[in-house]
């Protein structure tokens, strides 16, 4: 993939990865701790498991540590979330209010394919 933003592409990718992962983490905090306008979900439940994935994978993706694995897990969690919580009422995300789940799913799938990029801990750890 040829970057359209030239030298800024790496910086923009890192910024996008951080912001999206931070928003994803906030959803986990809502479910797990009942903060940011959320309510704690019952334990054990599928929503509790989702909250744990969001609270663990989100910060890892944000800082770029174990990025590919964390992003792949996050992408899968969002796919499961879409098909279990949104799709039963309608297939179309705009109708079933699942746009955010679909967006997170595909952004994290892209991050899993690309990795942490220039501005991630993974890249720093790989340097000799």
Report pLDDT digits (tens) over 71-127: 999 999 999 999 999 999 998 999 999 999 999 999 999 999 999 998 999 888 876
CB 27 within 8 A of CB 37: no
Report pLDDT digits (tens) over 56-70: 999 999 999 999 999
Q: Give the residue from 104, 120, 102 showing the smallest Cα distance to 28.
A: 104
How confident is residue 8, by pLDDT bands cut at 50, 70 and 90? confident
CB 69 within 8 A of CB 115: no
For residue 128, what pLDDT is reported?
60
DSSP state of 38: -
For residue 3, what pLDDT is reported?
58
Report pLDDT digits (tens) over 32-59: 999 999 899 999 999 999 999 999 999 9
Q: Say what the pTM is.
A: 0.89
Q: What residue spans define the domains of the chain?
A: 8-117
Separation between Cα atoms, residue 13 and residue 19, nearest integer Å: 10
For residue 98, what pLDDT is reported?
95
For residue 81, what pLDDT is reported?
95
Q: Give the residue from 20, 32, 85 showing the smallest Cα distance to 58.
A: 20
């Amino acid at each position: 993939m040829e970057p359209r933003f030239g030298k800024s592409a790496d910086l923009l990718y890192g910024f996008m990865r951080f912001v999206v992962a931070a928003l994803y983490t906030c959803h986990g905090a809502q479910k797990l701790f009942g903060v940011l306008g959320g309510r704690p979900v019952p334990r054990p439940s599928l929503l509790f498991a989702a909250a744990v994935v969001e609270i663990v994978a989100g910060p890892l993706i944000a800082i770029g540590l174990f990025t590919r694995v964390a992003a792949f897990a996050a992408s899968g969690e969002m796919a499961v979330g879409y098909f279990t919580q949104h799709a039963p009422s309608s297939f179309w995300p705009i109708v079933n209010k699942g746009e955010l789940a679909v967006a997170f799913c595909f952004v994290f799938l892209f991050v899993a394919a690309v990795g942490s990029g220039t501005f991630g801990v993974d890249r720093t750890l790989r340097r000799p």
